[in-house]
Amino acid sequence: MRTTIWILSMAVFLSACKKVIIGDSGSVNTIAVTTDSAANSWIYSTMKDYYLWSDSMPNINTTNLNLKPTNYFYTILNNYGTTDRFSWIDSSATNLVNQLNGVNTVLGIKYNAFYADLSNTNVVFVIAYVLKGSAAEKAGLKRGDVIIKVDGQIITTSNYTSILQNQSLKLELATFNNDLFTSTGTIVSVTKTELQTNPILKDTIIEWGGKKVGYLNYVQFLTSYDDSLKNIFTRFKNYKTTGINELVLDLRYNGGGYVTSSDLLTNLIVKDLSGKVGNAAIIMNQKIYNAAYTAVLKKENQAADFVTNFQFQAANLNTLNRVFILTSNNTASASELVINNLKPYMTVILIGEHTYGKNVGSFTITDSEKRWAFGLQPITFKIANSKGESNYGTVNGFTPDYAVLDNLLPYKQLGDPAETYLSQALNLISGVAYKSFGLDQIVKLKKAQVQKSAIGDNLNMDKKDMFINQQH
């Protein structure tokens, strides 16, 4: 924590650690307050320092300092659930940091929930993706597999959000034919394990109608995979000497992550900026903080905390005039940032559903004196592109140019030209049918979804994040 803010925070904290009582005789007695009250006072003062909407926080005297800190945090947020849909607290800062870095105890699947029949009571899970190296992958599960029962229980609209929360599970599989889900009798036993997410689900190059089309499905912005991203784009750039002609970036399951990794992806995609990158500053994005923190950063001459410029990347594709980005309600934060970053510099074509709508980000706050183990992840900045545009921060997010619902079954594998989202992009790139996939091979049926967003087997997989590596 920066010195100025630390002194202010400690002053508030120390005054909150005791209560002064003046007796009838004028005597002064000091009594200690509860541990929760002390922790909540620290939370409040810290939030006043950094929270983007600090001016909208209630007066501390009107708050209940005796609440559990993990409950108190949400009572001081700005219109939580509507204006601020994103700030959160974890009882363990270690757990919070692990989550942000893609380390969770999971089966390793994300799935869409569909109604099993016309009664709209029973539900099935259709696996959207399986993480590499996960327990689910080792058990043989894959995209498109249908789960009809869990631990012998029928999945319903009442239990579908919680039925996968046990550590060990027995998953009964089903097939989908003639608009019916039918159990195969196969039961897969899986136990959750701690997993470091590999966010690169699929990368490939497709020869399509005379074009060389690069495809990348990326599910979380993790700095530990930045070099892997660079390697993929190097392959894209050098493919058959002249490189790819078109790029399809699949962010339909990407809820965000590190801003620096989002900036890297932007640098790898952006059309050549006439040789100016590296010679002159060209703005990619700019951050806005609350008044108090802005004053601190300006006093310390931290210009880089406000403006990010494009940086040269050897693997930058250089020549693309446009990029196709596949989106859904899961596309959030750092994913939306890539879209917004690129819009001033090239044509961005969105295919799928509207995005989540998160144009704000955070950094992790912990207690430097280690009195409490809490990790705070409050919204601390808003972000805009080089034109100052940041108008996607509503529940409607970015609106797709071509609307597509991911409700056609059975699912094709990611990167398959016949897969619902990718096939729409390829049809826009060229109307020529792919040689191995005639329309007679695409037999799909539409099913009603319980909810539009894909769901993770661990709730941490569903968080929508955009954060900078600037711990306080």
Predicted local confidence at residue 32, as pLDDT? 42
* Measured distance CA(34)–CA(275) in Å, rounded: 61
Strands (E), 219-341: 246-250, 256-258, 283-288, 307-309, 322-327
Structural contact between residues 464 and 333, judged by C-beta atoms closer than 8 angstroms: yes
Collapse the DSSP code of 403 into the 3-class scheme (helix H, G, I; strand E, B; otherwise coil) and give the result.
strand
Which structure tokens are listed for 9? 């925070």
For residue 327, what are the β-bridge partners?
352
For residue 348, what are the β-bridge partners?
323
**DSSP secondary structure letter of residue 278:** T
* Measured distance CA(364)–CA(259) in Å, rounded: 13
Predicted local confidence at residue 302, as pLDDT? 80
Predicted local confidence at residue 79, as pLDDT? 96
Domain boundaries, the chain: 3-84, 104-196, 200-360+384-438
Strands (E), 197-332: 200-208, 211-218, 246-250, 256-258, 283-288, 307-309, 322-327
Q: Which residues contact 277 (CB under 8 A, 6 or more apart)?
A: 310, 311, 312
Cα separations in angstroms, 273 against 249, 259, 325, 345, 384? 20, 21, 21, 8, 19
For residue 116, what are the β-bridge partners?
none
Predicted local confidence at residue 162, as pLDDT? 93
- The answer as to CATH 3.90.226.10 being correct for domain 200-360+384-438 is yes
Amino acid at 42: W
Cα separations in angstroms, 336 against 303, 325, 333, 342, 356? 24, 10, 5, 10, 8
255-276: b (≥16 Cβ within 10 Å) or e? bbbbbebbbbbbbbbbbebeee
Neighbour count for residue 84 (Cβ, 10 Å): 19
Structural contact between residues 465 and 334, judged by C-beta atoms closer than 8 angstroms: yes
- Scanning 88-194, the segments in alpha helix (DSSP H) are 93-100, 135-138
Predicted local confidence at residue 18, as pLDDT? 36
Predicted local confidence at residue 1, as pLDDT? 41
What is the dotted CATH code of the domain comprising 104-196? 2.30.42.10
pLDDT digits 0-9 by tens, 261-279 = 999 999 999 997 765 555 5
Predicted local confidence at residue 464, as pLDDT? 73
Do 104-196 and 200-360+384-438 agree at the fold level?
no
Predicted local confidence at residue 441, as pLDDT? 44
Closest CA to 334 of 219, 168, 201: 219
Strands (E), 11-122: 18-22, 28-32, 88-90, 103-106, 109-115
Which structure tokens are listed for 452? 């539009």
Instruction: Identify the segments of the chain with pLDDT beneath 50.
Output: 1-33, 435-443
Predicted local confidence at residue 301, as pLDDT? 78
pLDDT digits 0-9 by tens, 96-133 = 999 889 999 999 999 999 999 888 899 999 999 999 99
Amino acid at 253: Y
